[in-house]
Amino acid sequence: AKGGEAVANHDSVATMQGGENIIATAINSFGRIDILVNNAGILRDRMIFNMSEEEWDGVIDTHLKGCFTTTRAASPYMRQQKSGRIICISSDSARGNSGQVNYAAAKMGIIGLSNSLTLELSKFNVRSNVIALSDSTHMTGSAPVSTDTQAEAAHEARWTATPPESPAILATLLASDLAEGVNGQIIGARGNEVYLFSHLRPLRFLHHKGGWTPEILCRSLSRLEPLFTPVVGSETWMPWDPD
């Protein structure tokens, strides 16, 4: 509508051949590849004691392996041309979410993948960043909700305030030269909100000369307990409604 050009490819990112074909379509159509947005995803929500191998593999293959297959195919071109922008789509649920062990594992794996891409590709002027979404899409809209009418209405109002188009502005910025200094970061997006996530870092070290025994280690754990972090949902640390 605004003068852009697009081509379609119907291969699956869940296979190496599919990832190669997708990138080849871009190269054959436009002559080069400058920006890669790894955004493919599905949901197969189930509690761990009910989840099948197929439900686990399907989510891991689409989200995590899908990031690998396309990036593996695109990275030689970006390396050769000494420029490129990779944006990997993760989620607030990477921190853990009940009924989504497959999805959370895949989305946390994407963060580790992107961090490694930053370390490997920065010297070739290729940046990699993560967008952690908390927006409603057709995919997340399929997740189970309460059968209570009021709860469903509140859920609908909450997610209506976070249209899936909103993160596109962040992705556009990260793909541009305006974000030249942004590399290896995890940036959240929810409606009109943008927020930066911390990276996984050690908080405190313990050392015992001569090595540990289970008993000595048990007594020493009290020094770590003040820094223990509870596992909670995003509604705990971001309880306000999106605007």
Q: What is the DSSP code (8-state) at residue 184?
A: S
Reduce the secondary structure of 41-58 to three states and give it as a string. CCCCCECCCCCCHHHHHH
Note the pTM of the prediction, 2 decimals.
0.87
For helices 16-30 and 66-81, the axis angle rounded to 10 degrees is 40
| Domains present along the chain, CATH in parentheses | 16-237 (3.40.50.720)
Q: What is the pLDDT of residue 214?
A: 96
Task: Give me the residue label for tokens 């869940």.
Answer: 14
Task: Give me the residue label for tokens 């189930």.
Answer: 46
User: In this structure, are residues 58 and 43 in contact, taking their beta carbons and an 8 Å threshold?
Assistant: no
- Which residues participate in catalysis according to the annotation? 103
C-alpha 239/C-alpha 158 separation (Å) is 11
- Own/partner long-range contacts of 155-161 (Cβ < 8 Å, ≥24 apart): 157/241, 158/241, 158/242, 159/135, 160/136, 161/191, 161/241, 161/242, 161/243
Write out the two tokens for 111: 């963060």
Tens of pLDDT along the chain (243 residues) come to: 577 899 999 999 999 999 999 999 999 999 999 999 999 999 999 999 999 999 999 999 999 999 999 999 999 999 999 999 999 999 999 999 999 999 999 999 999 999 999 999 999 999 999 999 985 544 455 555 555 565 566 556 555 666 677 789 999 999 999 999 999 999 999 888 899 999 999 999 999 999 999 999 999 999 999 999 888 877 777 777 776
Count Cα atoms within 13 angstroms, Cβ side, for 67: 27
Q: What is the pLDDT of residue 136?
A: 52
Give the chain's length: 243
| Neighbouring C-beta atoms of residue 136, cutoff 10 Å | 21
